[in-house]
Structure 1
Amino acid sequence: MSYPSGIPSGASPEPPEAGSPAYPPGSPYPQPNVLGDHPVPGQQRNRNVLLATLIVVVMAVAGLAVFWRILSGADAGGLGWVILLAFIPVPIIVLLYLLLDRYEPEPAKYIMFAFAWGAFIATLMALWINTEAGRLLGESAAGGSRAAVFVAPPVEEFAKGAVILLLALIRRKEFDGIIDGLVYAGMVGIGFAFTENILYYSRIYTQLAEEGGSDKGLQGALVLFVLRGLMSPFAHPLFTSFTAIGIGIAVRHRNTAVRYLAPIVGYLAAVFAHALWNGVASWAGAAGFLGTYLVLMVPIFIGLVIFALVMRARESQMIASRLYDYVRFGWLTAPEVPLIASLRGRKALRQNAKRYGAGPASAAKAFQHTATELAYLRDKIVRQVIGPEALPVEKKLLDELRARRPSVPFPPMPVFRPPQPAMGLPPGQSGYSPGPAGYQGPPGGYGPYPPSQFPPSQ
């Protein structure tokens, strides 16, 4: 339950009046405070530095191991071309995934961690296990059809999905559901595909260069680039997205069966899609591969894109619904909700704030970020995914929201319809709500909404 305006429950009482005894006669003499297990100032920062250093070292070692494997059988003359071809689709795909996460963008350090995990840790695991499996199956060191179909999919999807599950556990209070899972799936899949493409392009370049020179090697690498870098750059992110959807469903449900079964079902779907793709590429020939690509893989990809956009629209509705709860509690006003819960409203607030300088622009961005975090937290409280331990965090966010509001230059009333939440305002409420105690309304001069702009009451 959220705290209404005024002194929240559990706050310290008023101090005693002047001249009254500080402690009632006969009461035990107060003992001095004893220092508990609180960390020494700077201790947490030092731990974070050590952890970050350890992560960088592990990633560097894994990266060196992967690229040593690539260089050990590669033609050094074509390595620059190979890396360039593998890198070309990376910025475009990364940007598309980041555009999906517009309401509460994931921290850059976790985005980079997921990408590095896919590029180095997951790739190294897959290289070692797939190679050993190929040897046991009597296939070449470069792999074979049986290893590609029956070994690589479960190994690679486990290696990629593990980081999404790890981040969901580490960031369980901030990992909000399917959209967050899809973003991390995109990053780990892009990283994995980047390194794998370097390996494949280098292999074919070296093989053909030995037969017909560097020009022939480059031509072979370009053909493979068209197949992997242009026709199917989303393959690895697409497969891992099934695991991410399962994890995203799990973090939003309280039911124990759903929390355990959803990630497993998602992982199995990822393995099946990956195995189908590899099987067609290995056994169906060029015509069968192209037909499967057009008839099956492209529709699946388009369906996933539509699903992601629908999830983002539902995310907007959820944010609006939970923020209208705080309108009823008096912590927000109704006109502020669409400036947080809709992409057009967020853009309108930020553009208006930029007119007043960098400080107000930063304040508007922070106001939206705090309110969005508050909406996600409220949703978890309502769903009973988290318990009473979330109330201090909720109160902290509410205090931050109230403290930030006076610095935000709000725009005039938006002309667009605000998102329609699942639960609207109470019957009869219109215009501004009273707001917290002492709040005089937002600066910047937007007026109350007309009745037609309000969500329907229920």
Structure 2
Amino acid sequence: MAISPPYPSYSPGPGSGTHPHWWQRRWVRYGALITLLALSGLVILALVRRQTGTTGFLVGLGLAVLPVPWLLAAFRWLDRVEPGPWRNLVFAFAWGACAAALIAIVANSFATKWIATSTADPAGADTLGATLIAPVVEESAKAAAVLLVFLFRRRDFTGIVDGVVIAGVTATGFAFTENILYLGTAFGTDQLSGGHGIASVTAATFFVRVVMSPFAHPLFTVLTGIGFGVAALSTERQPARRVLVPLGGLLLAMSMHALWNGSATFGQFGFLAVYAAFMVPAFGLLTWLAVWTRQRELRTVREELPAYVFAGWLGPAEPFVLGSMRARRAARDHARRHFGGRPAARAVAQYEAYATSLAFLRHRGRRGRAGADSAAREQELLAELWRRREVARPALEHAARTVAPMPATSAYWGRYGYPAMPAGHPGAYGRPAAYGQGHPAAYGHPAVPYGYPAAPYGNQTVPYGNEAAPYGNQAAPYGNQAAPYGNPPGPPARYPGCHPYRP
């Protein structure tokens, strides 16, 4: 029997029935973007092949592709807590490899020729262009991809990790095309001069660009991505921060890029000095920051999801399982082996992603950073969880028992300001049959937007987050008041049988 969502659906707005103009249709926008990137790719392919020759292009392509899978895997690993859509990563890589590389080649060539003809030192035009012009042009071209995702895929861009991933993948694509050019040119030089073996220009270029510094371009652009990530965490009441922090990240990326390009002019050991004194420490610091941010995201999941457990949406073990990447993987593996193969594993992975997004949405809402559509987004995420519960919840319970057993109940829940789980809770640990029996009451009040002060969470008479007693610290604990948090004295009149503690 089909089960309807445990809350009313929104009626379409007054203008929802109108048809958009043809240029506003999604397929038109996607088609224009794909056409732009494809044309940029064809032009950059022709330019690189003309400069390197066919043989040099193929050699450069074969060598330049070697670090790409490792870099993409690293950024994808970082993004596993709340995985972003693949289309964003594909766009970022394509923009870096095609559009940004084309802008850089054209602009850098034009600027170098202009400097050579307008200064008294034409021989220093290449050095001046590489040190001053190239960092500005290249970092701006790569930052455009981060800006586009930030503006047009705002729902997928929620924090620092998203900025790091989009910026890093864009820079990986850019470095891939640039390495083809440099390695193909080096191979052509060896063909003319007869160089071969480890003494060849190709070997030296490969060692410097692919072995020593494959992370150089990602490192620069990640600084821009961090700036946009901080802007994503800012509220609409902080417009200066939302503008100045990304600009500061971009300027810092340009400065580090300029220092890297200009290291060859610092003497015989200038390159090694800059590499050891700046690049390696900066890479280590940003790696630590990325891993720390990833762990903080997992902690946010564990801290925010218990509220949905007490509203009846999640089982008591799920916040802890969803806050452990090892337990998540175990749940997907169990679903694949026992609940229908890859489709079941995919459903569990989607359940994990939606639950994580729900935790981050609540986290932003409690800090006043949620957007105007947060209530609709919350209901949308809850609906997605509800549709996948039959496969996901048993798999998550299995992971909780075998991989990540939940800590002592009272200690675990008390840590986050919640009382011990009632023994009769329909989703209590060890009672999987209770899942799906009836509908839990919608979180807070389903007909009222997220955090709306007139009817706050828990139906208190004061707005959510503004109680005289701190959140989670009332004299009578959650689930134990006369009109408890998410637990009214009886089922809502319009939702008979939906009480979270009555299966």
TM-score grouping bracket, smaller chain normalisation? 0.7 to 0.9
- Residue segments in structure 1 that go unaligned for 5+ positions in a row: 13-32, 444-456
Contact 1:117-1:191 within 8 A present in 2 as well: yes
Q: 1:225 to 1:422 in 2, by over 3 A?
A: farther
- Residue segments in structure 2 that go unaligned for 5+ positions in a row: 437-471, 474-503
Correspondence list, 1:337-352, <5 A: 337-352=319-334
CA distance in 2, matches of 1:150, 1:34: 52
Amino acid at match of 2:61: I
Contact 2:60-2:183 within 8 A present in 1 as well: yes
Q: Which stretch shifts more, 93-102 or 239-248? A: 93-102
Q: Which stretch shifts more, 373-382 or 113-122? A: 373-382
Residue 267 of structure 1, aligned match among 243, 247, 250: 250
Residue 38 of structure 1, aligned match among 17, 22, 29: 17
Contact 1:118-1:189 within 8 A present in 2 as well: yes
Q: Tell me if 1:154 matches 2:136.
A: yes
Deviation digits for residues 56-89 of structure 1 (CA, Å, limit 9, x no counterpart): 2211211122122222232333322111111111
CA distance in 1, matches of 2:96, 2:48: 16
Correspondence list, 1:326-341, <5 A: 326-341=308-323
Q: 1:285 to 1:375 in 2, by over 3 A?
A: same
- Report how far residue 207 of structure 1 moved: 2.9
Contact 1:339-1:348 within 8 A present in 2 as well: no
Correspondence list, 1:423-434, <5 A: 424-429=416-421, 433-434=425-426
Q: Secondary structure at the match of 2:434?
A: coil
Residue 374 of structure 1, aligned match among 344, 353, 358: 358
Amino acid at match of 2:99: I
Contact 1:332-1:433 within 8 A present in 2 as well: no
CA distance in 2, matches of 1:225, 1:150: 24
Give 1:105's aligned residue. 83
Given the two structures, how large is their TM-score scaled by the length of structure 1? 0.82
Give 1:413's aligned residue. 401
Give 1:450's aligned residue. none
Residue 188 of structure 1, aligned match among 155, 167, 170: 170
Contact 2:414-2:420 within 8 A present in 1 as well: no
Given the two structures, how large is their TM-score scaled by the length of structure 2? 0.75
Give 2:488's aligned residue. none
Give 2:447's aligned residue. none
Q: How many residues align?
A: 416
Give 2:486's aligned residue. none
Give 1:135's aligned residue. 113
Contact 2:413-2:419 within 8 A present in 1 as well: no
Cα RMSD of the aligned pairs, angstroms, is 3.3
Residue 40 of structure 2, aligned match among 62, 66, 72: 62
Amino acid at match of 1:317: R
Residue 386 of structure 2, aligned match among 402, 409, 415: 402
Percent identity among equivalent residues? 36
Correspondence list, 1:240-255, <5 A: 240-254=221-235, 255=238
Deviation digits for residues 264-308 of structure 1 (CA, Å, limit 9, x no counterpart): 11111111111111111x302442211221222111101111110
CA distance in 1, matches of 2:103, 2:198: 28
Q: Tell me if 1:385 matches 2:369.
A: yes
Residue 241 of structure 2, aligned match among 258, 267, 273: 258
Give 1:228's aligned residue. 209
Contact 1:157-1:270 within 8 A present in 2 as well: yes
CA distance in 1, matches of 2:370, 2:222: 25
Q: Which stretch shifts more, 266-275 or 141-150? A: 141-150
Contact 1:333-1:432 within 8 A present in 2 as well: no
Q: Comparing both chains, which one has the higher relative contact order based on Cα–Cα distances under 8 Å and sequence gaps of 6 or more?
A: 1
Q: 1:103 to 1:120 in 2, by over 3 A?
A: same
Q: 1:34 to 1:175 in 2, by over 3 A?
A: closer
Q: 1:176 to 1:212 in 2, by over 3 A?
A: same
CA distance in 2, matches of 1:193, 1:98: 17
Q: Secondary structure at the match of 1:176?
A: coil
Q: 1:253 to 1:431 in 2, by over 3 A?
A: farther
